[in-house]
């Protein structure tokens, strides 16, 4: 099909990335901070989508990976490790945590899974508040000071790009196809030999990695975090709303959602403080009722997305060329 469309899409993405990379030198210092946060949220939304969109399990506890990554990195930095040994540590801990929780949690489905994972974030928040010696309690934790705006900006851009590549690789792989089949009908998938328990666990572990890494970069950039700032409702819900508003199960969805929400938020919290928090809930309810497919699946937007050859979750096998078949 539209090989040209795919080329166009990738060149637009590359151009965008080149522009973002040049941003600090163009004198938009506020823009740099804004794009940094956007990229953090986008990475969270996209990595959430591996479980939420591809696998079809609404993981409201995705922020726990982010918070764990941030706290682990902060603690390791304070112990004298540098960032590049602290980040893998954060990654490993979050992945191990994902592996451990995947067993009990994936015995639940639908709303029960969503509720249980949501409880997880609060649980860890309570833990960080009370394990004072380790985490500094409700007072938060500071890392060695320094201006890391630029390096953290480039790091987070790289991680966001890497997550996009990861998400595409999964969508085109046999593993990804298996995740979609579990989303459609888990029982049938199992009957056809898909190792559902293993794959659900793997999907959760894979989605935890980018989240924990951006958590680490976030704390390095901010040099201070509190339990509220990394486990709060804001960070727990907004990436999920972004993914759902944009469209789940397709890479471009979280991108559209993240840009859209960050723009609206930017406008709202300068004009009407705190209103954005009320808006999240409203948007979530309205989305489920009127637009379950998200922005990218609206009828008049869809053709554009399809022209980019990213129309559905996987287009790789969908566009098999009959002419080339034996």
Binding segment toward other proteins, per CB under 8 A, in 137-145, 203-211, 224-232, 311-319: 311-319
Rounded to whole angstroms, the Cα distance separating 326 from 299 reads: 35
Residue 313 lies near other proteins (rule: CB under 8 A): yes
Nearer to other proteins, 152 or 196 (CB): 196
Nearer to other proteins, 118 or 199 (CB): 199
Applying CB under 8 A, among 70, 178, 206, 235 the residue interacting with other proteins is: 178
Joined tokens for residue 293: 């497919």
Contact 189/240 with Cβ under 8 angstroms?
no
Minimum CB separation of residue 319 from other proteins in Å reads 6
Residue 323 lies near other proteins (rule: CB under 8 A): no
Binding segment toward other proteins, per CB under 8 A, in 34-42, 170-178, 226-234, 272-280: 170-178
Nearer to other proteins, 185 or 281 (CB): 185
Residue 111 lies near other proteins (rule: CB under 8 A): no
Neighbours of 293 (CB within 10 A): 16
Nearer to other proteins, 132 or 318 (CB): 318
x/- string (CB under 8 A) for other proteins, residues 179-208? -xx-xxx-xxxxxxxxxx------------
141: helix, strand or coil: strand
Nearer to other proteins, 174 or 289 (CB): 174
Residue 251 lies near other proteins (rule: CB under 8 A): no
How does DSSP assign 6-46, residue by residue?
HHHHHHHHHHHHHHHHHGGGGT-HHHHHHHHHHHHHHHHHH
Nearer to other proteins, 76 or 179 (CB): 179
> What are residue 141's DSSP bridge partners?
225
Place of tokens 């993405």: 13
Joined tokens for residue 67: 């918070």
- C-alpha pair distances (Å), 251 with each of 27, 45, 63, 93, 247: 31, 10, 19, 26, 9
Nearer to other proteins, 147 or 321 (CB): 321
Joined tokens for residue 289: 């009722």
Q: Where are the alpha helices (DSSP H) in the chain?
A: 3-22, 29-49, 63-78, 83-105, 110-130, 132-135, 149-171, 174-184, 186-191, 196-222, 227-231, 233-246, 252-271, 275-290, 302-307
Q: What number of chain residues touch other proteins (CB under 8 A)?
A: 28
Residue 314 lies near other proteins (rule: CB under 8 A): yes
Binding segment toward other proteins, per CB under 8 A, in 38-46, 113-121, 173-181, 214-222: 173-181
φ, ψ at 142 (rounded to 5°): -110, 150
Binding segment toward other proteins, per CB under 8 A, in 7-15, 222-230, 300-308, 315-323: 315-323
List of residues contacting other proteins (CB under 8 A): 174, 177-178, 180-181, 183-185, 187-196, 312-314, 317-320, 322, 325-326
């Amino acid at each position: 099909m539209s090989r040209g469309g795919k080329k166009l899409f990738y060149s637009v993405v590359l151009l965008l990335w080149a522009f973002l990379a040049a941003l600090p030198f163009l004198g938009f210092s506020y823009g740099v901070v804004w794009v940094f946060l956007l990229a953090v949220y986008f990475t969270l939304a996209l990595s959430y989508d591996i479980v939420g969109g591809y696998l079809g399990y609404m993981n409201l506890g995705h922020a726990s990976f982010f918070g764990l990554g941030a706290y682990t990195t902060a603690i390791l930095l304070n112990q004298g490790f540098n960032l590049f040994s602290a980040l893998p540590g954060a990654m490993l801990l979050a992945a191990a945590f994902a592996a451990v929780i995947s067993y009990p949690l994936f015995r639940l489905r639908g709303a029960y899974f969503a509720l249980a994972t949501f409880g997880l974030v609060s649980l860890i928040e309570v833990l960080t508040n009370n394990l004072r010696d380790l985490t500094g309690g409700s007072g938060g934790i500071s890392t060695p000071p320094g201006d890391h705006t630029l390096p953290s900006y480039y790091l987070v851009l790289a991680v966001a790009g890497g997550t996009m590549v990861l998400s595409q690789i999964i969508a085109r792989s046999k593993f990804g196809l298996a995740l979609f089949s579990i989303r459609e009908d888990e029982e049938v998938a199992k009957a056809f030999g898909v190792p559902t328990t293993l794959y659900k666990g793997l999907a959760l572990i894979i989605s935890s990695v980018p989240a924990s890494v951006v958590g680490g970069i976030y704390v390095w950039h901010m040099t201070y975090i509190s339990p509220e700032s990394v486990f709060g409702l804001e960070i727990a819900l907004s990436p999920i709303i972004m993914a759902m508003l944009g469209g789940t199960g397709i890479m471009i969805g979280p991108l559209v959602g993240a840009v859209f929400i960050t723009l609206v938020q930017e406008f709202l919290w300068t004009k009407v403080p705190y209103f954005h928090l009320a808006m999240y809930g409203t948007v979530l309810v309205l989305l489920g009722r009127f637009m379950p497919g998200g922005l990218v699946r609206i009828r008049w937007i869809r053709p554009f997305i399809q022209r980019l050859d990213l129309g559905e979750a996987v287009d790789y096998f969908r566009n098999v060329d009959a002419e080339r078949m034996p």
